[in-house]
Structure 1
Amino acid sequence: MGNILNYLDWRGDLTFEQSPFNEVDNLILACFSYLDLDEMAEVKNGNTLSVEELFAAFSRREMKKDLKAESAFLQNTPVLLEKMACSERFRKCTVGGFVNEILFSQAQQFAAVTIGLDDGTTYISFRGTDDTIVGWKEDFNLSNGVVPSHRKALEYLETHGTYIQSMLRIGGHSKGGNLAMYTAMQCSDILQEKLLSVYDNDGPGFPGGFFSPGRVESVLPKVTRIIPEASVIGMLLSHQKDPRIVASTQKGILQHDAFTWEVMGPSFIEKESLTRRAAASDRSLHKWIDHMDEKQREHLIGELFSVLEATGADTISQIQEGGLKSLAAMVRQLDKLEPQSKAMVQELITGLFGSWLELLPLPELDKKRFLP
């Protein structure tokens, strides 16, 4: 057993003719969009490079140094590129159409890239969010309906998908999975006919009734939704498709990192259901968020993340690494909230961080507060 990096070691010598495109290839290309290609003019404005040419240019610019201070998730992306460039399966695939637009006024970021595959199809990959607290907050905020990233993603698909002659696959991880679902449901009929498949890799959902039934019915057969067994982000709000549940080498909410999903051969290792703790977290999230209007959801999300941000951590994993110190900071901020918000956020914290909390030597008061 391994992950998508191991998959490239094991099966990278197989062309798409020898072994057709599969769900693991999808996750590789979904994660590919996390690469920092901002300085790579060769893959912008109509320019393209093969994956092996991109890796050579990427290495020359020593962009790996820029990523060393990033999260563990982002540190894996240059390794992913290198393994793809050394593989028969991906090295000649073409990369282009890279965009990365940061919308400061709306606190939104949109990035996407187009990859032409040797099987004659094209995969459009929408970038998601990493394991930063800011990134998780953006995922939660997607629950409030259409945001600028949705409009940018639809514009990207309409622009690039129209002139691409091949059949299309679209997908993404986290926010990217949500964007893939949105564009598939909202794009023109002509583009929908060109869609071979849509991949939502642990992306958040949408408010109930967000899409018209006709659109859902036409696109749903093409959708593959994949979540880890302790999914949090991928269980937010309503989804039109039941998920495939896969194993991860991580615990709890850290399973959102797609590099931890377990692979065997051309497939993920599947699980029958969510973990007990993830199911409890899902119930807590739906109990509060699903029954709120936009302003109420926005307020609750703001209160929840004020508690997480009080730790001073940048990432979810740093919160957990902080142990009792992180918990103490969270409790102090929690006690500043209004009684109703405090009750809701406390239950959400228990659902989200239950696996971590159970491992801590909690004081008796905090045991009663957070653990059943």
Structure 2
Amino acid sequence: MYKILDYVKYYKNISFNDVKLNVMDNLIGSILAYLPVESFDGDKTLAEFAKYAQEFRDIDTSSVMVPYAYQVLDEISNGRRYRDIVISNLENIKNDKVQFGALTIRINDITMVSYKGTDGSLIGWIENIRIAYDYLTITQNYAVKYLEKTIRDSDKIIYLNGHSKGGNLAMVSGMEASFSILQRIKKIYNFDGPGFRKQEYESNKYQVLTKKLVNIMPSGSLVGVLLYNENYNVIKSEALGFMEHYPTSWAMFGQVFIGSDLSGLSKQLHERTTKGIELLDLEKAKVTFETLFKTIEKEYSSSLKINFNDVLTIYRNMKNIDPDIKEYIDTIIAALVRNNYDN
């Protein structure tokens, strides 16, 4: 079964004139967004960017995607297809309040904005949880401002994409885009990123995006099924459990993903985080989670592997936790544990 690295190796010497930009090229942008390089403004050719990125190759990071991002960069740097791309306005920001990353790729007359997913830091995971009870979060605001900053009047055809949290940020930036930018957006690719609360899902801003939106998730998705969304394309992954989330395991042939059916567990998670969350008092949920975060005795910006059994122990020891919220958390964590997330 072929995967994204096979696509890169096979198509890297086939020009965009011969094979048009497609979903796989957008996935490549989403993977490159994980590169742990320092922010820069302005433009870099692919050769300049590849040389710049090497300076950060040995950085210690807990992100699963970083090694794959470098593999992709190495491959595209040695072929004709991507030779003339320009990478612009890369942002990588991480502190105790936000973890955000994005880059812009220009290919001929096409502009592709790629948003970074969670990098393994504690603040990155905290932000993922906040999406369930807040809008716009700090990170989502960063995404909106980034799009406004990076898009030029000369950009005629725009693609937005991102993996995991990056997919949610791609959707948010499209929802909040000015009319001038919105009318130039051709497609938004959300690669297994979470959706929205019901109020955002039912908003006019979201409905305007639906014709442009493509949600891609593996059959055992534990992230893309969270909260409200639509236009799902369920695909086959060769990994198991939470590892299905990583796009390097997704099966494809040529320029097309191989389809599959959503697992029963994924359907359960979707049900629990949509209809189930409607029963919750979101303000109480916010207070509960924010209190939980304060009990974690680690720097928010630190890189670590999240152990959900530890989180479970923390909130079980909390007093006066709302029973409905506790049941909601139990469902999600139990599902993650059953999928051997900690292995």
**Same fold, TM exceeding 0.5?**
yes
Q: Deviations over 1:346-366 (max 9, x none)?
A: 332222222339x99xxxxxx
Q: What does 1:157-306 align with in structure 2 at a 5 Å threshold?
A: 157-210=147-200, 213-239=203-229, 241-271=230-260, 273-286=261-274, 288-299=276-287, 301=289
Distance 1:222 1:347, change over 3 A: closer
Q: Which moved more, 1:128-137 or 1:163-172?
A: 128-137
Shift, 1:97, TM fit: 1.1
Query: Structure 2 length as normaliser, TM-score?
Result: 0.85
Q: Are the counterparts in 2 of residues 249 and 261 from structure 1 also a CA contact under 8 Å?
A: yes
Q: Are the counterparts in 2 of residues 307 and 330 from structure 1 also a CA contact under 8 Å?
A: no
- C-alpha distance in 2 between matches for 1:160 and 1:331: 40
User: Residue 317 of structure 2 is aligned with which of 336, 348, 358?
Assistant: 336
2:343 equivalent to 1:350: no
- Unpaired runs of 5+ residues, structure 2, are none
Q: Deviations over 1:176-200 (max 9, x none)?
A: 1111111212211111111111111
Q: Which moved more, 1:143-152 or 1:278-287?
A: 278-287
Q: Are the counterparts in 2 of residues 122 and 168 from structure 1 also a CA contact under 8 Å?
A: yes
Shift, 1:72, TM fit: 2.8
Q: Give the 3-state SS of the residue equivalent to 1:234 in structure 2.
A: coil
Q: Are the counterparts in 1 of residues 127 and 137 from structure 2 also a CA contact under 8 Å?
A: no
- C-alpha distance in 1 between matches for 2:286 and 2:95: 19
Q: What does 1:42-81 align with in structure 2 at a 5 Å threshold?
A: 44-46=40-42, 48-59=43-54, 61=55, 63-67=56-60, 69-81=61-73
Distance 1:232 1:171, change over 3 A: same
- C-alpha distance in 2 between matches for 1:116 and 1:265: 23
Task: Choose 1 or 2 for highest CA Rg.
Answer: 1
- C-alpha distance in 1 between matches for 2:168 and 2:313: 34
Letter in 2 for 1:51: L
Distance 1:303 1:286, change over 3 A: farther
Distance 1:49 1:210, change over 3 A: same
Letter in 1 for 2:251: E
2:76 equivalent to 1:84: yes
Letter in 2 for 1:128: G
Q: Deviations over 1:250-309 (max 9, x none)?
A: 2222322222222221121211x2112222233333354343233233355468889999
Distance 1:299 1:258, change over 3 A: farther
Q: Give the 3-state SS of the residue equivalent to 2:228 in structure 1.
A: coil
Shift, 1:27, TM fit: 0.9
2:18 aligned residue: 18
Give the number of the structure whose residues are more often helix, by fraction. 1
Distance 1:124 1:137, change over 3 A: same
Q: What does 1:28-177 align with in structure 2 at a 5 Å threshold?
A: 28-38=28-38, 44-46=40-42, 48-59=43-54, 61=55, 63-67=56-60, 69-102=61-94, 104=96, 107-118=97-108, 120-131=109-120, 134-143=123-132, 144-177=134-167
Q: Deviations over 1:88-107 (max 9, x none)?
A: 22132111111223453xx2
- Unpaired runs of 5+ residues, structure 1, are 320-325, 361-372
Q: Deviations over 1:105-162 (max 9, x none)?
A: xx212221110114x2010111121355653332121222111222222222122224
- C-alpha distance in 2 between matches for 1:212 and 1:280: 21
Letter in 2 for 1:261: W
Letter in 2 for 1:183: S
Distance 1:132 1:275, change over 3 A: farther
Letter in 2 for 1:153: A
Q: Are the counterparts in 1 of residues 99 and 118 from structure 2 also a CA contact under 8 Å?
A: no
Aligned length: 335
- C-alpha distance in 1 between matches for 2:241 and 2:35: 25
Shift, 1:243, TM fit: 0.8
Q: Give the 3-state SS of the residue equivalent to 1:64 in structure 2.
A: coil
Q: Which moved more, 1:108-117 or 1:132-141?
A: 132-141
Shift, 1:18, TM fit: 0.8
Shift, 1:81, TM fit: 0.9
Distance 1:101 1:117, change over 3 A: same
Query: Structure 1 length as normaliser, TM-score?
Result: 0.79
Q: Which moved more, 1:257-266 or 1:15-24?
A: 257-266
Letter in 2 for 1:66: I
- C-alpha distance in 2 between matches for 1:214 and 1:176: 22
Distance 1:289 1:4, change over 3 A: same
Letter in 2 for 1:27: L
Letter in 2 for 1:93: I
